[in-house]
Amino acid sequence: MSDALDLGYARVDLGREARQGLPEIVYGPGKQVSEISGIVTTLLGRNTGPVLVTRVDPDAAAAVLGGVPGGRYDRDARLLVWRAARPIGHTVAVVTAGTADGPVAAEAAAVAAALGLRTTLIRDVGVAGLHRVLAAVEDLRAADSVIVIAGMEGALASVVGGLVETPVIAVPTSTGYGAALEGVTALLAMLTSCAAGITVVNIDSGFAAALAAFRLTRGPK
């Protein structure tokens, strides 16, 4: 059980890289700059793969990068990355219903890219103007998997799920107001999609969708 290191403020799971093919990914909120720096330094030293910190604001990112060089910050995705993985040869299409879903898509795409996936971004193809998603069918079918990101009623997931045969990972977003219930409506709608075999992750979690896409590239062989 030597593969966990207790830094006092965190117990770093050093064995995750061996167990799951990538190191523990650090969730930024609620952690001090010094704590993030310490965890990242530990992971860089004890592991060999990519090191990621999610949901970091620009100031904290600059401070961390000042102390732990070699990383790169993606402002749209709020993501810090060191040692991004080499491309794996799996393309994931990231599709959004509206412009307000942009930040979640940015996180999904940036995390996926840092883990070695090729990503195609298809923006703003909500079903109220159906020709937009129909125009993108070729791109959707060319991908190995699809991440669908939508708020409000989340209908895009059902439409895309019916157009492609590859894995579809739906991400509800907190876009919308009133009956949108901070994303709960889109979440419930995606879970009850009439398009068979769609899977769903937590509200606004571009991160979880990217990780789910990464799992698609792993296997027992």
Radius of gyration of the chain (CA): 18
Cα 118 from Cα 164, distance rounded (Å): 18
- Residues 131-150 interacting with a second copy (rule: CB under 8 A): 131-132, 134-135, 141-144
Does 158 participate in binding a second copy (rule CB under 8 A)?
Answer: yes
By CB under 8 A, which span of 43-51, 69-77, 78-86, 96-104 interacts with a second copy?
96-104
Residue 49 Cβ vs a second copy, minimum distance, rounded to whole Å: 12
Q: Per residue in 30-65, is it b (16+ CB within 10 Å) or e — as a string? A: ebebebbbbbbebbbeebebbbbbbbbeeebbebbb
Residue 197: count other Cβ atoms within 10 Å of its Cβ. Answer: 9
Residue 134 Cβ vs a second copy, minimum distance, rounded to whole Å: 7
Residue 122 Cβ vs a second copy, minimum distance, rounded to whole Å: 9
x-or-dash string of contact with a second copy, 5-44, rule CB under 8 A: -x--xxx-x-xx--xxx--xx-x-xxx---x---------
Q: Is the dihedral of CA 175, 180, 127, 108 positive or negative?
A: positive
Give whichever of 62 and 177 is closer to a second copy, judged by the CB atom.
177
3-state SS, residue 129: helix
Among positions 43, 95, 106, 125, the unique one binding a second copy when judged by CB under 8 A: 125
What's 55's DSSP letter? S
Does 99 participate in binding a second copy (rule CB under 8 A)?
Answer: yes
Token pair of 52 as six digits? 């990621």
Residue 211 Cβ vs a second copy, minimum distance, rounded to whole Å: 3
Give whichever of 84 and 216 is closer to a second copy, judged by the CB atom.
216
Cα 102 from Cα 164, distance rounded (Å): 22
Does 75 participate in binding a second copy (rule CB under 8 A)?
Answer: no
- Residues 177-196 interacting with a second copy (rule: CB under 8 A): 177-196
Contact, 5 vs 40, CB < 8 A? no
